[in-house]
Structure 1
Amino acid sequence: MSELTSASTGTLYLVPTPIGNLADMTFRAVQVLKSVAYIAAEDTRNTQKLLNHFEITTKQISFHEHNTMARIPQFLTLLKAGDDIAQVSDAGMPSISDPGKELVQACIQAGIKVTPLPGANAALTALIASGLTPQPFYFWGFLPRKPKAQQAVLQQLSTNEATTMFYESPFRLLKTLANMATVFGPERQVVLARELTKRYEEFIRGTIEQVSATMAQRTIKGEFVILVAGVKPTAVPPADLTDAEIRQAVADLITAGSKPNAAIKAIAQETARQKQDIYKIFHQL
């Protein structure tokens, strides 16, 4: 069955493209790009290479951060006239650290159908092979370039218990790692995922200090995903109760319907003490 709808208005398709390996392009993505009236592309020159590879002849219209506001009315006019449009970024998913969200919002407000296709994403691809806790995770994307602004963002994330993911260019990698060492501490675990799905795909793992030292000795090439381990949850200290408070706590549970032994066991677990100790305190032995 065709992906295209028979509604009077067109559909905006959000089509992920490979992040490196062209074999990761899905059959459905190729079908949609061939079937729509137009392709809204972040960089038409880059996308043309993809289209040539899959023998797609659909007309492209440039759509990037510098012409977003001018293009949206044009796209809405085409969609309202019944044309289907596929939006692509240079690599990965539209809207994820790439253009896209403004057009999606405009289509939703105009009552135009928006259909997302699943596909490649650098952050999740890196996460599942990182060795860090995969969930919960927190995706930030590109950090601010100015040092003070970057440190301010990192400070906000410094107590995050989730694995946090960033995108970074090879030109700013060492400076970003230095700021992370300052804010997160040099011993925080970090993973660099480089050139994902490509020939020289690589994962560099260790503390921020170790990874920084490794990268400082190398010629840094390729786009990076930086994954930072979350902070470990602070253990809740056992309740420091007096003997009288322990007896009252057990008594309250018994009054609420618990049997004496169950109440004693519950308070022992809550205070991280031996059940026998709580038994002696409660019975004043």
Structure 2
Amino acid sequence: MNTTFSHSGKLFLLPTTLGDNEPLEVLPATVQQQVRRLNIFIAENEKTARRAIKKLVPEKSQPSLSFFLLNKHTDPADIPSYLESCKSGKDVGLLSEAGCPGVADPGAEVVKIAHREGIQVVPMVGPSSILLAMMASGMNGQNFAFNGYLPIDKAARKAEIKDLERISLDKNQAQAFIETPYRNNKMLEDLTATLHPGTRICVACDLTLSSEFVVTKTVTEWRKTKVDLHKRPTIFILQKDY
């Protein structure tokens, strides 16, 4: 199907590493090639974005780079202006802090505007912690949901965990979610205290790093397992089969 876009500039969705490893261990050379030619970027944090670019393309001139910041301090009214360069024929790169832009990432708002404005969106291959966790979990990869963060309030969290367990059984749907890294151990404790003994839990931690840890066990088995997830990026997935 041929589609005519309104502008010649494109929005490239540029994945980054999930941790402090060598970029080309997990990113294809095509990402490096695009970063090498781009000078305009949208990112959550300029300092970390510059560091990621320098690590991927060490020879790139840092003074030549321009950044538009997209984070909790950004005025939503300013976001459409970030794509003005695309309208004048220049390509723009959207960088995630970790993993893939637009997936559990504020970059989705930029992508939405790009489609609205007739700007071509080009997603590039890179590590997604959600997909990597699902791949390695042994749970239903044909029907799963990512739920972001669960409630902090103890009662609300317990209710949400039970609700996700019910949905997983009713729909045969794996339920994935995350937690602030310093609360990971408490999350696993809450899961094992709340869920049915036979419900499976996957803990996918430090994905793509040398310390990677991906294990799926039943609640009963996790109650007998000691693991320290403190301050380690982790995806949790649960599924009840009966």
Q: State TM-score, norm by structure 1.
A: 0.70
- Partner amino acid for 1:116? P
> Who is 1:185 aligned against?
196
Check conservation: 1:204, 1:211, Cα contact below 8 A.
Answer: no
Out of 89, 99, 106, the residue aligned to residue 82 of structure 1 is: 89
Is residue 227 of structure 1 aligned with residue 240 of structure 2? Answer: no
Which residue does the alignment assign to 1:14? 13
Give the SS at the match of 1:172.
helix
Shift in Å, 1:80: 1.8
Matched, 1:113 2:109: no
2:186 equivalent in structure 1: 175
Match of 1:41 among 15, 40, 43: 43
Letter in 2 for 1:46: T
The structure that has the greater radius of gyration is 1
Q: What is the one-letter code of the residue matched to 2:237?
A: L
Q: Does 1:103 align with 2:124?
A: no
Task: Please say if residues 190 and 205 of structure 1, whose CA atoms lie closer than 8 Å, have aligned partners that are also in contact.
Answer: yes
Change (3 A) 1:118 1:77: same
* Alpha-carbon spacing, 1:190–1:8, altered in 2? closer, same or farther (3 Å): closer
Q: Helix, strand or coil for the counterpart of 1:119?
A: coil
Matched, 1:122 2:122: no
Question: What residue ranges of structure 1 are gaps of 5+ in the alignment?
Answer: 1-5, 233-285
Find the counterpart in structure 2 of residue 150 from structure 1: 157
Report the CA distance between 1:224 and its aligned residue. Answer: 0.6
Shift of 1:36: 2.5
1:63 and 2:70 aligned = yes
Q: Does the C-alpha gap of structure 1 residues 74 and 199 become closer, same or farther in structure 2, counting only changes over 3 Å?
A: same
Deviation at 1:193, TM superposition (A): 1.2
| Structure 2 partner of 1:137 | 144
2:137 partner amino acid: S
- Going from structure 1 to structure 2, the CA distance change for 1:43 and 1:212 (only over 3 Å counts) comes to farther
The 8 Å contact of residues 104 and 148 in structure 2, kept in 1 or not, is answered as yes
C-alpha separation in 1, matches of 2:78 and 2:16: 21
Name the amino acid aligned to 1:226.
F
Identify which of structures 1 and 2 has the higher relative contact order when contacts are C-alpha pairs closer than 8 Å and 6+ apart.
Answer: 2
Q: 1:222 to 1:212 in 2, by over 3 A?
A: farther
Give the length in aligned residue pairs. Answer: 227
The answer for the alignment partner of 1:73 in structure 2 is: 80
| Rounded Cα–Cα distance in structure 2 between residues aligned with 1:68 and 1:155 | 36
Is the deviation greater in 48-57 or in 177-186? Answer: 177-186
Q: Which residue number corresponds to residue 254 of structure 1?
A: none
Offset at 1:77?
2.3
CA RMSD of aligned residues (A): 2.6
CA distance in 2, matches of 1:80, 1:9: 7
Aligned to 1:242: none
The answer on whether the counterparts of 1:92 and 1:121 sit within 8 Å (CA) in structure 2 is yes
Q: Residues 186 and 171 (structure 1 numbering): CA distance in 2 closer, same or farther, change over 3 Å?
A: farther
Q: Which amino acid aligns with 2:31?
A: A
Instruction: Label 1:131 to 1:226 Cα distance change in 2 as closer, same or farther (>3 A).
Output: same
Q: Is 1:28 the equivalent of 2:21?
A: no
Residue 70 of structure 1 and its aligned partner are, at CA, apart by 4.6
Structure 1 position 183, deviation (Å) = 4.5
TM-score, structure 2 normalization:
0.81
